[in-house]
Amino acid sequence: MDDKILEGTTTVGITCKNGVVFASERRASMGNLVAHKVAEKIFKIDDHIVTTIAGSVGDAQSLMKVIEAEVSLYQMRNNDNISVKAAASLTANILRSGPMYVQTLLGGMDGDEPSLYSLDPAGGMIKDTYISTGSGSIVAYGVLEDRYTDELTTDEGIEIAIRAIRAAAERDTYSGNGYLVAKVDENGFEMLDNEKIDDILKKI
């Protein structure tokens, strides 16, 4: 059943001057049915690389497992971390070999250099400073276009990402049921707990 569930979802990625921020809501829908209310849409690939997914749950889960395995193999063979761009290129090649119904954001840090890529189901790969995917992305982009600057810190980026997801959840019926928020900076990966997210929601 899971591979028939389509996540008409909203995910956001924002490049900040000291890291990359990711956010999503948690609803997984199947037609007009809310199939799951706690869907995982942000995945840690490594301490310096994170992805988000929108689309078929089955395709997304398969893709994440392959990316994680390939990144681990690269690091074992080369005794070094894979770059964010190389990980994005690897993901694009996987998608080109067999299109999957999934749209992916992949980003992270190479040393102190943040970067973010969008990958479409056919393997197209585009680098950008901020990106939203899924059915609520039109609403989320309104917030991102209005508030993004090149000088954002990750703390400021987190607030904007949550604003974007909240706005999408208010207007997109396929988005809702809570928030997932993560960041990657010079200290590595962090998934924010619900208490931190609630504190930010109260502030904004």
The residues that are catalytic are: 9
User: In terms of C-beta distances under 8 Å and separation of at least 24 residues, what long-range contacts does 194-202 make, across chains too?
Assistant: 197/162, 200/158, 200/159, 200/162, 201/162, 201/166
Question: How many Å apart are CA 164 and CA 166, to the nearest integer?
Answer: 5
Please, are residues 81 and 36 in contact by the beta-carbon 8 Å criterion? no
Let me know if 111 is exposed, middle or buried by CB neighbors in 10 A (0-12, 13-18, 19+). exposed
For 3, the token pair is: 């591979």
Helix (H) or strand (E) holding 44: strand 42-46
End-to-end CA distance of the chain: 38
Angle at 65 between CA 2 and CA 68, to 5 degrees: 155
Amino acid found at 33: L
